[in-house]
Chain A
Amino acid sequence: MINIEIDGKKLSVEPGEMIIEVADKAGIAIPRFCYHKKLSIAANCRMCLVEVENAPKPLPACATPVGEGMKVYTQSEKTIEAQKSVMEFLLINHPLDCPICDQGGECELQDVAMGYGEGVSRFTEGKRTVKDKDIGPLIATELTRCIHCTRCVRFGEEVAGIQELGAVQRGEHMKIATYIEGSVDSELSGNVIDLCPVGALTSKPFRFSARAWEMQQRPTIAPHDGVGSHLYLHVMGNQVKRVVPREAEAINETWIADRDRYSYESLHHADRVTKPLVKQEGVWKETDWSQALEVVAKQLNIIAKNDGADQIGCLASPSATLEEHYLLQKWLRALGCQNIDHRLRKTDFRVKEQAPQSAALPCEFTDVEYYDRFLLIGSYLRKDIPMLNHRVRKAVMLGAEVSVLNPVDYDFNFDVAHALISDVRLLSTQLAGILKALSANAPLFSTLPDYLRQVSPDPAQQAVADSLKAGEKVMLFLGSLALHHPEAGLLKALAEGIAKETSGELAFLHEGANAVGARLAGAMPHVGAAGSALPTPGLDAAAMTHAPRKAYVLHQIEPEWDCAYSAQTLQALEQAEFVVALNTFQSDTMLDYADVILPAAAFTETSGTYVNLAGHWQSFEGAVVPQGEARPAWKILRVLANLHDVEGFDYTASTEVRDELKQQVEESAAQSHEVAGQTDTSSLKSYSASRDNTQQGLVRLTETPLYRTDAFVRRSPALQQTTDNQRTGVRVSRQVAEQYKLDPAHPVTLQQGDYSVSLPWQVDEALPGNHVWTAGVAGLGAPFGAIELTQGKVS
């Protein structure tokens, strides 16, 4: 530690720190534009010039390291004079029309100009103007306002991992631009809006719709993935006008993904249900709450009484709150129904999940940065969980090696050391090869089916094994593709085997905002809340589809997009005697299959808790009043349970629900992280039966693109227009296109059993042969099953 003085205040600081960092920590304000604590130092705006004793000229505080005995003056005449001069230069070309600028009122330049600018400009010449560019649906540009701080450029290079914006030309002509009028496509792109200290980059959907001082800022938690980024909602009247990050170093640092930033647009979508709806003899009628709830209670009672409570099935979104998951299962289990699941896209349930764990990651998000070897199994981490991907990327920058095993050669924003791009049917063979390369006699092999026992490692698998073995801290990620894979149980057992041999740890990249919470709350058919044992297990999500129930309770899901067997699920729902949907939105499909639609409040309108992948219970309050007659889902469930005379539903606040579960979790064994080797390996041999060993014929590969994950993002117009969201329709490998002589001008027909759809198609060079890629297409069969492809020429 060394001693310095700022404005006479004695400080003991780390050597190597910059003056501005030290001053920030000590609460001493120094104006700045280009400096940002999360970005590299550019020192190009010169606004932070300060007087330092014995230095001949004022020095930039952001780029001047502290030294023993240094004396800094941030308020001296020399400092103020320097800063005023810089301000005058910056304002030469900046328009002085704050009242018509979207940034007005929350502008760093405006703020600093209030302190350091002159009332009247001495500059009477013409100002520089720059043509605005269209850089995509999320960010509006007004480049005449740009002061060339280059924060946005550095963000792309250093954080997003893809430089899309740059400073082209020089001097007077310098401007921020994309390459040849391209769009900015990073999944983190919206952060440049927050970084921009002026009104050059602003939010396209938001701009000019409210002023900073008209809005109130309310905290919440992001509802789309397992990170649970901390957000601020900016609310005017009862409307969420925009979403910005809330700093949380351990969760999302100072960033958020575009999905979390722009999904608020869906809150005012025309599909919002604002009144309870009941179908009477095929006609939908708006009704009041008491009537609608009575219909639901009565219908479920009739079915439970006549056919048994196991004729009720409940499918809940993994992004519903902890409280909702807990109340759903508490209510239905009291009726005698165990058919509850939130693992909607999972297809293999043969290996039962053990007692639920308190987290899906073995460590905090920040700790991920300090692992030195990763194996990503079936994951497009960059698009699935952008803020977790950011941690892995930071680890790579510190020297970590990442290996991936995927059916598609995904475009990661870090260097991939070893990429195994494999037929999706052979993921388990690949993992077995890696395991064998690590240890030919690993105990796991004796439990595996023959086709995996006999594997001999190829050089690529050997390279991955060598990479993992050379690591000190190894982490394996089972991504959504692996968790939803028809051999998910095998993949998990093999990943555990590899983890064991490399002293590594396993992380589960479950979908949704509350997958860990749903498990703890007991929203699974085979374990109750807090891992409690059940007398008889119920049906899992797939079984509820394959063995249709007479009644369904759907909670915040749209089966055509959210369920693995979408077409079959819809069929089951249509045939059911009674379907109640608790949902924020309605759709034509829902009006077809449902009998009652109960308007549930959106994520901004209810209180609740999400448990993120790292195991943090993150509670939030409702920020706005629910639209129309929509009500928080936990209250709806409370009343339904009351109508069924279930005891213990006298909650007056959602926090009571949370605390009740919390106590159970603390008392139970569901405390430890899932560790390698916990899988019950007794059933692994049975996988032989379902194995297609020929790998002949076409196989379907299903992905849930990042802007299709849930009902909210699917209804967010700006996100739907992004380049990322154009990854849609049907994609086939070049081999398939040539083999089937596909005509690009016509759609292809895909068929799986009784289900078929016709869609436009394109070639995807990143796909292996024999693969037909679909983006969670409704109306088909098994997401990773055999598929037939035909192209009838339109005459």
Chain B
Amino acid sequence: MAKIDLLSSEVRAEIDKWIAKYPAEKKRSAVVGALTAVQDAHGGSLTPALMEAVAEYLDLPPIAVLEVASFYTLYDLKPVGQHKIYLCTNVSCMLCGSDQIAEHLKERLGIGFGETTADGKFTLKEVECLAACAGAPMMQVDKTYHENLTRERVDDILAEFD
């Protein structure tokens, strides 16, 4: 089976949308959109086979895909939990108490940064600035931003996933 067959028709349609945004010979520009679509469709993480499929689909050398996939914290190259929590610990958030939020999250979930809970529900990630400094400290859960975090807010947000 060719690697490219790993991509479903829905995923291909999504990638094609990204390709259409750029000149025909600049398919490479669609790699961020393509990786996001593929990751979302495959349990939130990328495997070598999936990256090779994207490379094949966009006519890129596999290393060029790995360069992008390993650069952005939004991509995971190891299996993750159902939900991804990205906690910003960059300057603004740090000044507004992200250290305490980090501590609280680690305690509540029983895991450290870069780890997944035993029940496979959450993966906790430490990330750099997500451009929401006005609402620091903040975190992103899956695709949603949560700002002005307190311990209680964090508990409420996690409760939504029970």
- Asked if A166 is at the interface of the complex by the 8 Å CB criterion, the answer is yes
Query: How many angstroms from the CA of A167 to the CA of B71 in the assembled complex?
Result: 9
> Are B71 and A166 within 8 A (Cβ)?
no
Q: Nearest chain-A residue to B51 (Cβ)?
A: A179
Q: Nearest chain-B residue to A167 (Cβ)?
A: B67
> Are B70 and A178 within 8 A (Cβ)?
no
- Asked if B64 is at the interface of the complex by the 8 Å CB criterion, the answer is yes
- Asked if B66 is at the interface of the complex by the 8 Å CB criterion, the answer is yes
> Are A166 and B67 within 8 A (Cβ)?
yes
> Are B63 and A165 within 8 A (Cβ)?
yes
Proximity bits, A161-203, B CB within 8 Å = 1, else 0:
0111111111000000111100000000000000000000000
Q: Which has the most chain B C-beta neighbours within 10 Å: A163, A178, A179, A180?
A: A179
Query: How many angstroms from the CA of A163 to the CA of B63 in the assembled complex?
Result: 7
Query: How many angstroms from the CA of A169 to the CA of B75 in the assembled complex?
Result: 11
> Are A178 and B71 within 8 A (Cβ)?
no
The smallest beta-carbon distance between A400 and chain B, in angstroms, is 15
- Residues on A with C-beta less than 8 A from B64 are 163, 166
The smallest beta-carbon distance between A612 and chain B, in angstroms, is 32
Query: How many angstroms from the CA of A599 to the CA of B149 in the assembled complex?
Result: 84
Q: Nearest chain-B residue to A168 (Cβ)?
A: B70
Give residues 94-110 of B contacting A (CB, 8 Å).
none
- Residues on A with C-beta less than 8 A from B63 are 163-166, 168, 177-179
Q: Nearest chain-A residue to B71 (Cβ)?
A: A170
Query: How many angstroms from the CA of A165 to the CA of B70 in the assembled complex?
Result: 14
29 contacts between A and B (CB under 8 A): A162-B61, A163-B61, A163-B63, A163-B64, A164-B61, A164-B63, A165-B63, A166-B61, A166-B63, A166-B64, A166-B66, A166-B67, A167-B67, A168-B63, A168-B66, A168-B67, A168-B70, A168-B71, A169-B71, A170-B70, A170-B71, A178-B63, A179-B61, A179-B62, A179-B63, A179-B66, A180-B48, A180-B62, A180-B66
Interface residues of A (CB under 8 A from B): 162-170, 177-180
Known: A164-B63, A168-B71. 17 other contacts (CB 8 A): A162-B61, A163-B61, A163-B63, A163-B64, A164-B61, A166-B61, A166-B63, A166-B66, A167-B67, A168-B63, A168-B66, A168-B67, A169-B70, A169-B71, A170-B70, A179-B62, A180-B66
- Residues on B with C-beta less than 8 A from A162 are 61
- Residues on B with C-beta less than 8 A from A180 are 48, 62, 66
Give residues 45-68 of B contacting A (CB, 8 Å).
48, 61-64, 66-67
The smallest beta-carbon distance between B99 and chain A, in angstroms, is 21
Q: Nearest chain-B residue to A165 (Cβ)?
A: B63
Query: How many angstroms from the CA of A177 to the CA of B67 in the assembled complex?
Result: 9
The smallest beta-carbon distance between A146 and chain B, in angstroms, is 15
- Residues on A with C-beta less than 8 A from B70 are 168-170
The smallest beta-carbon distance between B23 and chain A, in angstroms, is 15
Query: How many angstroms from the CA of A163 to the CA of B71 in the assembled complex?
Result: 17
The smallest beta-carbon distance between A496 and chain B, in angstroms, is 35
The smallest beta-carbon distance between B56 and chain A, in angstroms, is 13
- Residues on A with C-beta less than 8 A from B67 are 166-168
The smallest beta-carbon distance between B25 and chain A, in angstroms, is 10
Query: How many angstroms from the CA of A163 to the CA of B65 in the assembled complex?
Result: 11
- Residues on A with C-beta less than 8 A from B61 are 162-164, 166, 179
What 7 A-B pairs are tightest by C-beta distance, nearest first?
A: A166-B63, A179-B63, A163-B61, A168-B70, A179-B62, A166-B67, A170-B71
- Residues on B with C-beta less than 8 A from A166 are 61, 63-64, 66-67
Query: How many angstroms from the CA of A167 to the CA of B70 in the assembled complex?
Result: 9
Q: Nearest chain-A residue to B64 (Cβ)?
A: A163
The smallest beta-carbon distance between B30 and chain A, in angstroms, is 17
Proximity bits, B95-134, A CB within 8 Å = 1, else 0:
0000000000000000000000000000000000000000
